[in-house]
Amino acid sequence: MLSLDIPQRTSQSQLTQINRILIIEDEDLIRDMIVLALEEEGYEVITAKDGRTGLNLLQGNDCPLSDSPFDLILLDLMLPEVNGLDICRFLRYKGNIVPILILSAKASETDRVLGLEVGADDYLTKPFSMRELVARCRALLRRQRAYSIPQNAVKQFGDITLFPEECRVIVRDEEINLSPKEFRLLELFMGYPKRVWSREQLIENIWGPDFLGDTKTVDVHIRWLREKLEQDPSNPEYLITVRGFGYRFG
């Protein structure tokens, strides 16, 4: 299992989205049990017995430390060579955002807090059940997938196309002019079709929590947006009023 020569992701693993997990753990028994449990779940597992080897794997194949060849790292704290907290700190310092789950016999609150403060995403105290470990791994990988959906992708719904990076909106083949607030409001709506937003949620997202005006501001902006987007603003098909709740898009 231990290998300094990590293969590049194969095209097959890219296609099927096989998650690759690195375990840095010096206790053979625990490491072997984790490998078994995670491989059974279909994950690709790579291991390191000490901190130095772990760091080398993270920088393998000319991969800069800011970009991880792994989707998740399980990290013991008490490790030979380089300890887990230093690895975690170092990765975050380099801008690497790979999810890190700390596995440690240190159960005190201070250790947990310290682990999370240096940038770990979750903390599991030994001894733990393999079922719990697998569940936490799944949750961290799921969260990471959600983050990796590009936020600047072109959004399209019905006759409306929004280009986030160009701040442009095309409606029925014609470019329309939106104020910055109108644009951000539409971008938010289009990112979550059918989701119902309260006026307070829209204020918080677009105007920010310090906004002192009242929620009528939202209604005014919705009316302006309707006039620009809808074929019949009094009978909207995009910006729908949900009585008693707020608004939804589509």
Question: Which stretches of the chain bind Ca ion, using CB under 5 A?
Answer: 26, 76, 78
- The answer to whether residues 74 and 34 touch, using CB atoms and an 8 Å cutoff, is yes
Going by C-alpha positions, the residue among 204, 199, 239 that lies closest to residue 218 is 199
Shortest Cβ distance from residue 53 to Ca ion (Å)? 13
Return the number of the residue (23 or 203) whose C-beta is nearest Ca ion.
23
Query: In this structure, which amino acid lies at residue 99?
Result: P
Going by the DSSP 8-state scheme, the letter that residue 159 receives in this structure is T
Alpha carbon 122 to its chain centroid, in Å, reads: 14
Return the number of the residue (55 or 186) whose C-beta is nearest Ca ion.
55
Return the number of the residue (23 or 218) whose C-beta is nearest Ca ion.
23
- Residue recorded with tokens 């682990």: 115
Shortest Cβ distance from residue 239 to Ca ion (Å)? 56
Going by C-alpha positions, the residue among 146, 178, 149, 144 that lies closest to residue 161 is 178
Strands 246-249 and 196-197: antiparallel
Shortest Cβ distance from residue 200 to Ca ion (Å)? 48
Return the number of the residue (73 or 190) whose C-beta is nearest Ca ion.
73
Shortest Cβ distance from residue 26 to Ca ion (Å)? 5
Residue number closest to Ca ion, CB atom: 78
